[in-house]
């Protein structure tokens, strides 16, 4: 049984990590874009700020290479491959059309160079070479891509190849791409930095990153462009301002300039009208000295098990509703991180946070006579409460 021990009125304490404002900012309708689908998401909280046709399955073009690079980063992180591994270049990779890194058949290229060729130069040849090296063939690599997509919750995605080359049934959604972008940023930060590099030179050819926002906005540090006649011009972008990271996905615009402009509109709207703050760090005490019965200790602290962020409209801090519910009777034995309550915060009825409160350390069961005394105390406690 849970009992409420906190409600609205202590929000200033709860939300000290969120910048204070003195007046609520009225939020206009979100921008309407000249695109097929789009979404704007806060990377830390997963809060969706804007979306349109976010679940429509569309051809991703070279946005496919985000998954290719994610799998390569995963293999590097796990130690299965190394950055300086020499990757052989097959005839199949060499012959790939479209955007190219200009690798040569019969040569070997360091894996990290190929990864840069995928991310910065959007090289189809580099993508196929990596797929063959990691999985034996591009078809087998596509199977791995689909398995990874399922693990990330990308329910509307299906990959047939590692490049985004037009293929029937090769599709994804704006929402799925935002999930993939978040995973790229958070899971493998040691390789995410490649997405912000503006140029990469290989084989005497210096090619620029196709993400125009890297030149226009110093807060943008990724991610990837894509284009085919069927897909139109697409862009997944991410930016950080004052500790708040947003991810925008724009699909199906009419030109390179249009995809950059539409992505800018989304990012500008999000940063102007919303704010994200870190409310708690993992291990922060939410309830101090909660009573423990039948234990060798009489009290325990309840803590949050993970970092807690919250995304809210600017100026709406005072309109949040916070509640803490704690078990009516906490009884030993207790294990470390055992759930003993819940913390929830909502805004205008919409849940923003709902996470467990856990024991900060284990508590062993007391001896017979101590437990007997607590049983008597609990009996009278129940009568008078």
Residues serving a catalytic function are 62, 65, 122
User: How far is residue 12's CA from residue 192's CA, in Å, rounded to a whole number?
Assistant: 35
CA atoms within 13 A on the CB side of 287: 25
Extended strands (E) in the chain: 2-6, 37-42, 48-52, 86-88, 108-110, 199-202, 205-208, 220-228, 232-241, 244-253, 274-280, 285-293, 299-303, 308-313, 320-327, 330-331, 339-347, 350-359
DSSP 270: H
Distance of CA 355 to the CA centre of its chain: 18
Token output for 273: 């009208």
CA atoms 52, 56, 59, 61: torsion sign: positive
For residues 113-139, one letter each, b for 16 or more C-beta atoms within 10 angstroms of the residue's C-beta and e for the rest, the string is: bbbbbbbbbbbbbbbbbbbbbbbeebe
Name residue, tokens 């190929």: 114
Q: What share of the chain is helix, strand, coil (3-state, %, to 5)?
A: 30, 30, 35
Residue 385: alpha-carbon gap to chain centroid: 46
Here the tokens at position 39 are: 């979404």
Cis peptide before 223 (omega within 30 of 0): yes
Quote the tokens at residue 321: 């509703």
* Crossing angle of the two packed helices 174-187 and 65-78, in degrees rounded to 10: 30
Using alpha carbons only, what angle is made at residue 205 by residues 202 and 210, rounded to the nearest 5 degrees?
90
Longest alpha-carbon distance in the chain: 85
Question: CA-CA distance, 295 to 278, in Å (whole number)?
Answer: 34
State whether residue 157 is helix, strand or coil.
Answer: coil
> What is the distance, to the nearest Å, from the Cα of residue 288 to the centroid of all Cα atoms in its chain?
32
């Amino acid at each position: 049984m849970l009992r409420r021990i906190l409600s609205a009125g202590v929000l200033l304490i709860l939300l000290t990590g969120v910048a204070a404002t003195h007046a609520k900012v009225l939020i206009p309708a979100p921008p309407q874009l000249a695109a097929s689908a789009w979404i704007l998401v806060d990377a830390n909280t997963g809060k969706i700020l804007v979306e349109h046709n976010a679940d429509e399955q569309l051809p991703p073009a070279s946005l496919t290479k985000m998954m290719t690079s994610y799998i390569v980063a995963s293999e590097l992180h796990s130690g299965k491959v190394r950055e300086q591994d020499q990757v052989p270049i097959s005839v199949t990779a060499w012959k790939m059309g479209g955007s190219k890194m200009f690798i040569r058949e019969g040569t070997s290229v360091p894996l990290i160079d190929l990864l840069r060729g995928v991310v910065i130069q959007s090289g189809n040849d580099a993508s196929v070479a990596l797929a063959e090296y990691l999985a034996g063939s591009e078809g087998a690599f596509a199977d791995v891509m689909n398995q990874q997509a399922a693990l990330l919750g990308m329910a509307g995605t299906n990959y047939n190849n590692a490049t985004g080359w037009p293929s029937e049934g090769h599709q994804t959604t704006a929402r799925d791409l935002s999930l993939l972008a978040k995973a790229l940023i958070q899971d493998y930060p040691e390789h995410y930095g490649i997405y912000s590099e503006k140029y990469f030179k290989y084989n005497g050819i210096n090619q620029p990153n196709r993400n125009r926002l890297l030149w226009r906005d110093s807060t943008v540090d990724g991610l990837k462009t894509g284009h085919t006649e069927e897909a139109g011009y697409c862009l997944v972008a991410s930016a950080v301002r004052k500790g708040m990271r947003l991810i925008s996905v724009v699909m199906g615009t009419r030109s390179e300039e249009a995809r950059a402009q539409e992505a800018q509109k989304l990012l500008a709207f999000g940063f102007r009208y919303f704010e994200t703050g870190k409310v708690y760090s993992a291990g922060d005490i939410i309830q101090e000295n909660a009573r423990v019965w039948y234990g060798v200790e009489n009290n325990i602290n309840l803590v949050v098990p993970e970092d807690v962020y919250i995304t809210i409209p600017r100026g709406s801090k005072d309109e949040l509703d916070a509640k803490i519910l704690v078990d009516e009777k906490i009884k030993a034995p207790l294990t470390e991180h055992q759930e003993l309550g819940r913390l929830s915060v909502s805004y205008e009825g919409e849940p923003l946070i709902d996470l467990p409160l856990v024991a900060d350390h284990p508590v062993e069961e007391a001896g017979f006579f101590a437990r007997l005394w607590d049983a008597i105390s609990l009996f009278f406690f129940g009568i008078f409460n």
